[in-house]
Amino acid sequence: MSDGATGNDDIPSSRMARGKIAARTGLKMGGNYARYLARRSVGGDADAARSKLHTSNARDLFSELAKLRGTALKLAQGMSVDPAFFPEEFTEVLAQAQYQVPPMGAALVRRLVRQQLGAYPEAVFASFEPEAVAAASLGQVHRARLKDGRDVAVKVQYPHVRESIDADLSMARKLAERFVGTGSVDRYLEEVRARLLEETDYLQEGRNIEFFAAQYNDDRIVTPRWIEAYTTQTVLTMTWVEGVHLDAYLASEPSQESRDRYAQTLWDFVHDQVAADNLTVHADAHPGNFLFMPDGRIGVLDFGCVKRFPRAFRDDMIGLFSAQLDGDSKRLERQYEALDLLPADFSDEQRDYFRSLLMDIGEIIATPYRSDVYWFGSTETIDRFRALMPRLTGREAFKNRRPVGSHHFVYVNRLVFGMLSMLTDLKATVQVARGRDQLLRVITQD
């Protein structure tokens, strides 16, 4: 068997090569828009035409990002769990970034394993499945068995991913600065860069796995365990966790009792992390990282993206949540300022605009916590976020454009929107009181 890589396995790493693909994507989406305008000019169903435009653009975007993988595809994952800010057609298509990335060929995988572990996979492992069981933005997973009989998952990182981080963030910076001004996004992109450097170090991910296993493995949550002897920076071996992803679980038409049980576990897991004294959260809360296990437990995967918060930020964030629940405008103002949501150099007009927007966003997030039990079967929460879009993208937003808030919010947003999205998909009833009271105890104990 040849160990050479095919042309389809060539993942561009230079800024020029990746920039060409980005430019080609823009041309495709521009063509889609031109066709949409042409169809609209001759009449027809405007809503159907607009939906077709969004779907075509989302498919073209996913197709090109899948070639880039790496940071670019991580952005697609983030978009797919943030339904408040993108059309429904985009979130549906970009959800493929969680499950359906084109995998590397078997020949390239063999070569990468040999480079990292010193021998081809069939020599290292008792068995190794050449077809990937999952392919995501940074790497793909193969099922294997160790010679001691343990079933394991072997994650192999795509070539050039680490080298492409700066190129992709440079493209993201140029795009963002067209809308919000030079230098205004640097601290947020540096936060993303720091997490991506950690996420592409599989030795660090192995240590994260062991940390979370020690903290959370119980009768509700299962994490894999790290096999250090078979791990390098770009090949990670961990014990196998059996289960199905959210889409397959929902396709099985589970009972409401089952949905509620799993949703409660997800809710409690997120709040346990935020309230914990170790200030550490699994910050990649998209459906591809959770498995619904036959025995009722939830398997948690992918510990590359882990966020460690400064205590002051975590406590100020919970203080903001508490002030929102209490409707205390003076405390809200103090917390906005502490979290850099209302910078000192804002004009009165900017302060009024952002204060109003922040209060409305905070109220949407606080709503489920105002009762002890909340039903997530309605899309009300997501619909209310979507209703804010004209204020986020319209003329007033453009006039007051400027990123606000601590850079630590980058991964808080992913955690919150990821959780809300999954609970909404489950259409579950959740006992919210425990999570709410956990958070409030953090600041009453300080």
Residue 94: CB atoms within 10 Å: 24
Known catalytic residue: 328?
no
Question: What residues are paired with 238 via a beta bridge?
Answer: 153, 226
Q: Six-digit token pair at 333?
A: 């103002």
Q: Is 151 helix (H, G, I), strand (E, B) or coil?
A: strand
From the candidates 60, 168, 284, 316, give the one annotated as an active-site residue.
Answer: 284
Q: Are 157 and 117 in contact (CB under 8 A)?
A: no
Burial of 78 (0-12, 13-18, 19+ CB in 10 A): buried
Burial of 396 (0-12, 13-18, 19+ CB in 10 A): middle
Question: What residues are paired with 430 via a beta bridge?
Answer: 374
Question: What residues are paired with 300 via a beta bridge?
Answer: 290
Q: Are 60 and 25 in contact (CB under 8 A)?
A: yes
Q: Are 302 and 208 in contact (CB under 8 A)?
A: no
Nearest to 108, CA basis, from 140, 67, 136, 65 = 140
Nearest to 216, CA basis, from 318, 298, 315 = 298
HSE at residue 200, side-chain half, CA atoms within 13 A, is 20
Q: What is the DSSP letter of 434?
A: H
Give start and end residues of each alpha helix (H) in 81-160.
Answer: 88-94, 106-117, 121-124
Query: Which residues fall within 8 angstroms of residue 217, CB to CB, at 6 or more apart?
Result: 223
Query: Which residues fall within 8 angstroms of residue 176, CB to CB, at 6 or more apart?
Result: 184, 185, 189
| Active-site amino acid positions | 284
